[in-house]
Structure 1
Amino acid sequence: MSANQCLKQVHSYQKALKLFANFWVSTQPLKNQLENTVNALNHSAENIDVIFNMLPLRWVNQVEKTSVQSKFAEKIIRYLPGTSHHSHDFQRIASPLSTFLIRHPDVTLEVIGDMSVDESAFPQGQFVRRGYVAFEELPDLIATSWLTLAPLEDNVFNQCKSGLKFWESGLLGVPAICSPIDDISRFKNKGLMLCSTDQEWLAALEQMTDEASYQTACADAEDRALKAVHRKEEQRLQSLGLSEAGSEIVTIKLSEKYARLHHYLMSAWFGPRWPGKLLNPTDTDFKHANFVDEAFGQSQVLIPEPLTNKLGTSLKICDVSIEINTLLKNRATTISLLDKPAKPSTISRKAKKLLRSPREFFRDSKVVKSFRR
């Protein structure tokens, strides 16, 4: 995007800001930046409130945790950037990572997603690529990791980000090594190592090769990350005086056993992005997804059509056997493997750019640039 086009978008955002008097933001630095912006625009904001990002309770309950001994023995470091636009962030730690892997041939580095990485920078056989993984499938992947990484360039944009990368990892008892940002620093503990220099990153990695230090880090990470769990459903049920035992409402989903069954069931019906279907009224599956979800809350398991010839159309939760649970899990896995986001069309993207700004389109075109040379 050219500087001129960027300025046009900034001005449109500023106009949009003036339409609002109340704001919610997810971090304190973001609040500070917003206050500065609205003041510069001579706009009066009545309230700018910080509501920290959190993870849903199901993130903790739907996955079977891996033992500390198993994670330490496997030693898989995972980097989960979320988008393909973090190559420059990852490049900041490529050198200490490469040095560490050379020193420790028993360690594997796995990068998740379509991010561009120079694989030749790492020892052969110790670098693994894995494609797109849906958000709801990440807990199973993170739970088997030795460590997770979250490097970021030090700039205003990144300093406004939330500490989500630590919570995702720490809740599953997996230590994280991260760049220091304000929001993540709230959770400082032995399972969260904040590093800025190559030497600090390398030292943090080496520290985790000591099994006693690693065990302490796993326990600390999980304990601190629990403070970032969204317990709205749990609190609502408690306020109603409902206990998990004997309740006929949604409380059954609070236990780990039924949280996993709930995840398999919803994924078997609607794929790994089922939580979005529950929340988005414009989704074609919105009503159906909520119907299946509410039935589960009433202890009823509605079976997806491909499995009805084996299981019937519905079951009571108490009648779900290990075999039935496995069938639902396998069906969920099959759908998840087929659920890939559509790659953006280059033609569509360029057509939009041409309509939005013809001058910028032709200025940036390869043909024009070749003539300039």
Structure 2
Amino acid sequence: MQQTLYISHSKRGKEHFYLDASARYRCIFPCTDTSDRIIKHCVHFKQLKHIRVSDYSTVIFHRPVYSNKLKRLIQHLENQGVNVIADFDDLLFSVEHALESPAYLSGQLSKQQALDMTQNYLKALNLFNKAQVSTEPLKQYIGQCSPKIRTQVTNNRIPAYWSYLSTEHQAHPIDKLKDKVIRYFPGTSHHSANFNSINICLNKILNNNSDIRLEVVGDINIPNDAFPKAQFKQTETVLFDELPALISSSWLTISPLENNIFNQCKSGLKAWESGIFGVPVISSSNPDMERLKCSGLSLTTNINDWEHLILNYKDANNYAASSKAIRQSSAQSVIASDTFKAANSVQLVQILSSNYGPNWLECLYNPTHKLHLKINEQLSQLSQLDNQALITSIDDNITSLNSKFKFHLKNYFEQSSKVRIKRKLLKLKNNPRLFVRDMLKNI
């Protein structure tokens, strides 16, 4: 039987790579797709010593960074007849655009480090004969940087189970007009510059419309006086499986991007993550977003358009039609044939996340994880139960499940804090001036 192995090179490491949105989309989510009947696993590059990589028919290296170990492994796999593929979802390999990368712009890398890192990605890319990328522009840039490589586009998609984690989207769209909350989900602190590009515009909208509120969910730097205090709120990043409740209760979500080549190559995931819940999106235009363009996805390259586009969704008829349109458009970005049944996916996720923590999905598909066999065994048992039996099981064990989830949640945020502290220290080392400037913003 054919088997595919996804290998993440995430800088978060073997313990935390599930926290990396890029690793989730390119390595873990594809494993949920059962439509081709191919067994799929995912691991971190540092876990390879625990498995026989040559047992797989296809091995996909996500964001590979050059090393002698990588070079030897690719040569070995090709000699064994294994199909070896490089995978990129950002413009990390173009030296010409190295200084447009979020890591450099956010101060995590110095100029020389950004250039060196890009060279390492390019050097790694050139070890391969095949590549897959998340967007059409990335395919074009691989063609320019490494013409010999055969490249195909494999768009990002999200598992169907995720869209059932909120019942909020079952409400009538018009109800959203009663509480107009615009939300922005930056994901990482890299997006401070993207958000700040529309600060003045958003401030004007809030000042002129007392019925609109703005909420930023994530760790980005925002000046204390940027928005009217009564209409603005910033919260910490939440668990990925907690996002549906926040997204689906939003009136609108936004995705501002600075106009540069790096951002033109990015995936349009912010569109369908909201769209599957019928929440309209306003975004800076980029090619991958254009795939989903409809009345519920407003795209622009002009910052002066944002006010009109936002206020346009105050109209009840337009909002209802737009909500329906983006829900339909986003369906193409959902993995329809995933591991979980729509009818009981909410209950399955509740049980598995309580028993195994927020990274339960990685445990499920990572054969090197100590919980891999146990979680697969439990999923097999739970999948045989109908929806009512699962609900009864949850009700009977609710105290225990809540206690376990709180324990795993505590560990999750402790791990996240450690990663964040390491990044802060790296910024201090690489760019002390920018580090001090960012710290002063928070005083």
User: TM exceeds 0.5?
Assistant: yes
SS of residue matched to 2:230: coil
Q: Which residue of 1 aligns with 2:406?
A: 334
SS of residue matched to 1:172: coil
Q: 1:254 pairs with 311, 319, 341, which one? A: 341
Larger-Rg structure = 1
- In the TM superposition, what is the alpha-carbon distance from 1:319 to its structure 2 partner? 6.9
Q: Which residue of 2 aligns with 1:187?
A: 292
Q: 1:288 pairs with 371, 374, 386, which one? A: 374
Aligned pairs (5 A) from 1:47-196: 47-66=150-169, 67=171, 68-196=173-301
Contact 1:79–1:150 (8 Å) recurs in 2 = yes
Say if 1:231 and 1:73 are closer, same or farther in 2 by CA, change over 3 A: same
Contact 1:189–1:220 (8 Å) recurs in 2 = yes
Q: Which residue of 2 aligns with 1:313?
A: none
Q: Quick one: distance in 2 between partners of 1:94 and 1:196?
A: 16
Q: Quick one: distance in 1 between partners of 2:428 and 2:230?
A: 41
Say if 1:25 and 1:347 are closer, same or farther in 2 by CA, change over 3 A: closer
SS of residue matched to 2:210: coil
- In the TM superposition, what is the alpha-carbon distance from 1:262 to its structure 2 partner? 0.9
* TM-score (norm: length of structure 1): 0.78
Q: Quick one: distance in 2 between partners of 1:292 and 1:280?
A: 15
Structure 1: runs of 5+ lacking an equivalent: 234-249, 302-315, 355-360
Q: Deviations over 1:284-340 (max 9, x none)?
A: 322222222222122289xxxxxxxxxxxxxx8367278448658745763575231
- In the TM superposition, what is the alpha-carbon distance from 1:118 to its structure 2 partner? 1.4
Q: Deviations over 1:152-200 (max 9, x none)?
A: 1111111111110000000011001011000110111010001222321
- In the TM superposition, what is the alpha-carbon distance from 1:218 to its structure 2 partner? 0.8
- In the TM superposition, what is the alpha-carbon distance from 1:346 to its structure 2 partner? 5.3
Q: Quick one: distance in 1 between partners of 2:337 and 2:297?
A: 26
Q: Is 1:317–2:389 an aligned residue pair?
A: yes
Contact 1:95–1:198 (8 Å) recurs in 2 = no
Q: Quick one: distance in 2 between partners of 1:263 and 1:31?
A: 35
* TM-score (norm: length of structure 2): 0.66
SS of residue matched to 1:178: strand
Q: 2:361 pairs with 272, 275, 284, which one? A: 275
- In the TM superposition, what is the alpha-carbon distance from 1:120 to its structure 2 partner? 1.0
Contact 1:77–1:110 (8 Å) recurs in 2 = yes
Q: Quick one: distance in 2 between partners of 1:153 and 1:18?
A: 29
Corresponding pairs, count: 321
Q: Quick one: distance in 2 between partners of 1:69 and 1:333?
A: 34
Say if 1:215 and 1:353 are closer, same or farther in 2 by CA, change over 3 A: closer
SS of residue matched to 1:78: strand
Say if 1:123 and 1:345 are closer, same or farther in 2 by CA, change over 3 A: closer
Contact 2:382–2:390 (8 Å) recurs in 1 = no
- In the TM superposition, what is the alpha-carbon distance from 1:228 to its structure 2 partner? 1.0
Say if 1:149 and 1:278 are closer, same or farther in 2 by CA, change over 3 A: same
Of 216-225 and 316-325, more deviation after overlay is shown by 316-325
SS of residue matched to 1:132: coil
Aligned pairs (5 A) from 1:25-44: 25-39=133-147, 44=148
SS of residue matched to 1:254: coil
Contact 2:266–2:286 (8 Å) recurs in 1 = yes
The share of aligned pairs that are identical, in percent, is: 33
Q: Deviations over 1:247-284 (max 9, x none)?
A: xxx7xx4234x111111111111223321221223333
Q: Quick one: distance in 2 between partners of 1:293 and 1:8?
A: 44
Q: Which residue of 2 aligns with 1:245?
A: none
- In the TM superposition, what is the alpha-carbon distance from 1:135 to its structure 2 partner? 1.1
Q: 2:385 pairs with 290, 299, 311, which one? A: 299
Q: Is 1:11–2:119 an aligned residue pair?
A: yes
Q: Deviations over 1:8-29 (max 9, x none)?
A: 2222222212211010111100
Q: Quick one: distance in 1 between partners of 2:328 and 2:420?
A: 44
- In the TM superposition, what is the alpha-carbon distance from 1:75 to its structure 2 partner? 1.1
Larger RCO (CA within 8 A; separation ≥ 6): 2
Say if 1:331 and 1:141 are closer, same or farther in 2 by CA, change over 3 A: farther
Contact 1:180–1:194 (8 Å) recurs in 2 = yes
Q: Quick one: distance in 2 between partners of 1:96 and 1:136?
A: 31
- In the TM superposition, what is the alpha-carbon distance from 1:210 to its structure 2 partner? 1.2
Contact 1:83–1:113 (8 Å) recurs in 2 = yes
Q: Quick one: distance in 1 between partners of 2:203 and 2:427?
A: 40
Structure 2: runs of 5+ lacking an equivalent: 1-108, 437-443
Q: Which residue of 2 aligns with 1:20?
A: 128
Q: Which residue of 2 aligns with 1:203?
A: 308
Say if 1:331 and 1:75 are closer, same or farther in 2 by CA, change over 3 A: farther
Q: Quick one: distance in 1 between partners of 2:432 and 2:222?
A: 26
Q: For residue 61 of structure 1, what is the amino acid of its counterpart? A: Y
Q: Quick one: distance in 1 between partners of 2:231 and 2:427?
A: 41
Say if 1:109 and 1:331 are closer, same or farther in 2 by CA, change over 3 A: farther
Of 336-345 and 82-91, more deviation after overlay is shown by 336-345
